[in-house]
Amino acid sequence: MRRVKVYGTLGPSCRAREILEQMLREGMDGVRLNLSHTTLSESSELIDAYHSAALGCGVRPELLIDLQGPELRVGALSAPLPLTEGESYSLEDIPFPGELREILPTLPTGQEVLLDDGRLLLVMDAVSAKPGIRLRVIRGGLLESRKSVALPGCLIHTPALTERDRDQIRQAKSYGVTAVMQPFVRNREDLLEVRQVLDRAGCEKLRLLAKVENRSGIERLDELLPHCDEIVIARGDLGNSMELWELPAVQKRIARVCRDAGRDFMVVTQMLDSMIYRPVPTRAEVSDIFNAVLDGAASVMVTGETAVGEHPVQVIRFLSQTVRQAEAFQ
């Protein structure tokens, strides 16, 4: 049986070489760099620390870049914006991207708007020329810069790659990137476009991971499999596209399709979310990891837990040790 790979995510919490060395020694096989919030050049010191840590450990781990792709995000904020439950806000209050500013006036009252992987929920209260679109907060909290935006049930046509994505791909080899994660894959055309850009950049040997995180990706899963090296069950935005209690069954179905086709798949999002603040995970979290391995996952990944969490080394220890226990159980 192949060894299940364990991935973390680079960020401020693990920018020190010593921390990265400890994470690698705890069993981390590679890291993800989220390019929705930064660029390769802006992260050069962090990437250098990672490569230096790997050299110190005598290993050659992977570096995955997660592109921006067709995902919509709010713009830059001078400070986190409190969105108060029950209050209404205008388009001028929230820095929505241009595409959404054009689309929102065409949508009906009651349309849901999810922010920050669904942590914040707003609904369209009224649409009129004056006073304009109002968004009422159902589930409030602090909105930070560059957080995701999703409109459940609404299909928005955007290019598979942004110009910045294309530029990052051109630089990928010089930073030691080993794989590219394409977000919000909708059809095989998205993957063919990414592969074409990779080939033109001389990156034909880089692995291509297809992130399934919307209904279009689920419905077209069969056509995605031949055009990627691994499917990513990205449960954050995938959970925004349906009722949350439907998500476990969808995850199981994707896993089964991948197994039957002999295609690797990764499980990611909130695997050890409580460890952003706590040194020990919940029983439910370790059970989730264990079951992902039993379902046949080729890899598992944590995101904010190591990027901004308080216990990045312990996160990798629990993730890796739980994976190894699941492998031994099979």
The answer on pLDDT for 131 being more than 60 is: no
| Banded model confidence at residue 129, pLDDT cuts 50, 70, 90 | very low
Task: Determine the Cα–Cα distance for residues 212 and 205; give it in Å rounded to an integer.
Answer: 22
| Tokens encoding 23 | 């994470």
**Extended beta strands in the chain, E state:** 5-9, 30-34, 62-66, 72-73, 81-83, 88-90, 112-115, 120-126, 134-139, 141-143, 148-150, 179-182, 207-212, 230-234, 264-268, 299-301
**Rounded average pLDDT over 202-217:** 95
For 207, the 3-state DSSP assignment is strand
Q: Considering the entire predicted model, what is its pTM? A: 0.83
By percentage, how much of the chain surpasses pLDDT 70? 97
Domain at 5-70+158-329, CATH from 3.10.20.30, 3.30.43.10, 3.20.20.60, 3.40.50.720: 3.20.20.60
| Tokens encoding 103 | 């689309």
Residue pair 173/194 in contact (Cβ under 8 Å)? The answer is no
| Banded model confidence at residue 1, pLDDT cuts 50, 70, 90 | low
Domain boundaries, the chain: 5-70+158-329, 73-150
Do 5-70+158-329 and 73-150 fold alike per CATH?
no
Angle at CA of residue 155, ends 154 and 158, nearest 5°: 135
Task: Determine the Cα–Cα distance for residues 36 and 73; give it in Å rounded to an integer.
Answer: 9
Q: How is domain 73-150 classified at the architecture level of CATH?
A: Beta Barrel (2.40)
Specify whether the backbone of 34 is left (phi greater than 0), alpha (psi in -120 to 50) or beta.
Answer: beta
| Banded model confidence at residue 165, pLDDT cuts 50, 70, 90 | very high
